[in-house]
Amino acid sequence: MSSPERQVAATPEASASTSIWRNRPFLILFLTSAFVTCGAKVYELALPLILYDMTHSPLTMTTMRSIEFLPNLLLAMFIGVFVDRFSKKRWSQWMVFGQMVLLFLLYALVESGRAEVAHFYVAGFLLMAFNYGYGNARVSIIKQVVPKPLLTSANARFSFLYTLIDIMGPAISGFILLLSSLHNGLLITGIAYLIALIAVSFLEKEKAPGATTPQSSFWQDFQAGWRELLSNRPLWMITILVIFLNATSGVYEAMIIFFAKDHLNLDNSQLGLVLSVAGAGGLIGSTLVSRLRKRFPTGRIMGTTILLLGVSYLLMAMAQSTWMLCLSLFLSGMIGTIENICIWTFRQESTPAHMIGRISGITGSIFKLGMVFSIYGSGWVTVWQGPWAAFLAAAIGNLLIFLVYRRLSLWRLA
């Protein structure tokens, strides 16, 4: 069956030399993602800080972080099937709308003094579920409307956007703290999602929902996605590898805020500025990745980033000052960005357009398998030995992953 997606994907070379900024769907998605990501960065920092002020417990914070990853673990692979079966524009609109409503409701609860820890847990789960639903649709649309030679460039632009907002988001949150109550950030975030909802409405609706046939059932499409992934051996090996990489990075990221506030005694505005250093590193990484992929094989780049991320985690384990904290954050932001773009781009390049939603969903779900347990466990390790032990465990984990990776065929991946 012919579809718009297949028509776009069939002739990517025809527009390979065209600037990515002349692609109208890309521009709309870029603008929409700017508002979605900016809002998300504010509430991602605001929610754990509100919980910290309520409980002063690292276990509460790590539980919140664990719950936020559950939608990816439990729902992502099924969300991908829906994205492939239905209108991606309409799906994106509902995902943005759902997040907007949740944020307004959570703000109202806090403002009225009725908010409890359970409300944050439920809201965090649903927010991340809707956020992943939008992200999957965005990846699918990019695969369909961007020529293959420009996929690395497109992903680098999105990564640049995300890391730029990584710098701005904590700074905005810190500014909000100086002016009024922290929960006002939830209201501002809801308004950002309202603007994103308007922006995404300018996308053209697909003439057909996808490449699935009317006769195929949900489970048949789901099984077809799994067969496609398992037949792509390099992508399957990368998927298994990322389980462990995300587990170590989850431990590292979950303890940063607690370490900065409890051990270095940073206030909220200082914390926002310190966290923006990771965004600065990410900006540099997003500008380097296209040139690195042209000069070096993808497998070597990925292997090197695994080792260097371990070094950045080790620096945090030894950190006794804000400067060491900043150095670790900068390196992890830069190296992690390069690694992520390589993985995203390879997944898009090696996946058929009509399967991208399912492959993104299945791999996205598998990616998070180890994060829930590692993040939750890091809270207990911190209570038992201190955050330095969690950072050291993450560093050792990455070293072991690199030693295994070096023996795999992925090391020779072009």
State which amino acid sits at residue 77. Answer: M
pLDDT at 177: 57
Using alpha carbons only, give the angle 328, 330, 331 rounded to the nearest 5 degrees.
65
DSSP string, 193-248: HHHHHHHHTTSPPPSSS-S--TT--HHHHHHHHHHHHHH-HHHHHHHHHHHHHHHH
The answer to whether the predicted template modeling score (pTM) of the entire model surpasses 0.95 is: no
Which of these, 124, 166, 154, lies nearest to 332 by C-alpha position?
166
Q: How confident is the model at residue 42, as a pLDDT?
A: 76
3-state DSSP of 331-363: HHHHHHHHHHHHHHHHHHHCCCHHHHHHHHHHH
Q: Is 1 helix (H, G, I), strand (E, B) or coil?
A: coil
Residue 189: C-alpha distances to residues 29, 130, 158, 193, 240 (Å): 18, 14, 20, 6, 34
User: Which residues of the chain fall below pLDDT 70?
Assistant: 1-18, 58, 62, 163, 166-182, 206-215, 268-269, 272, 372, 379, 382-383
pLDDT at position 11, please? 38
The Cα–Cα gap between 38 and 160 comes to 13
CA neighbor of 64 nearest in space, from 53, 76, 72, 52: 52
Residue 207: the pLDDT is 56
Q: What angle do CA 86, 202, 15 make, to 5 degrees?
A: 85
Q: What pLDDT was estimated at residue 144?
A: 80
SS3 of 6-19: the string is HHHHHCHHHHCCCC
Which two three-digit tokens encode residue 184?
Answer: 């006002």
Separation CA 303–CA 289 (nearest Å)? 14
DSSP state of 180: S
CA triplet 230, 4, 158: central angle to 5 degrees?
A: 65
Q: From residue 237, how far is each of 73, 347, 395, 401, 410 by CA, in Å?
A: 18, 12, 22, 13, 8
- Cα–Cα distances in Å, from 170 out to 12, 67, 329? 38, 21, 14
Number of Cβ within a 10 Å radius of residue 12: 15
* DSSP percent split of the chain into helix, strand, coil, nearest 5: 85, 0, 15
Using CA of residue 333, residue 337, residue 339, residue 344, what is the dihedral sign? positive
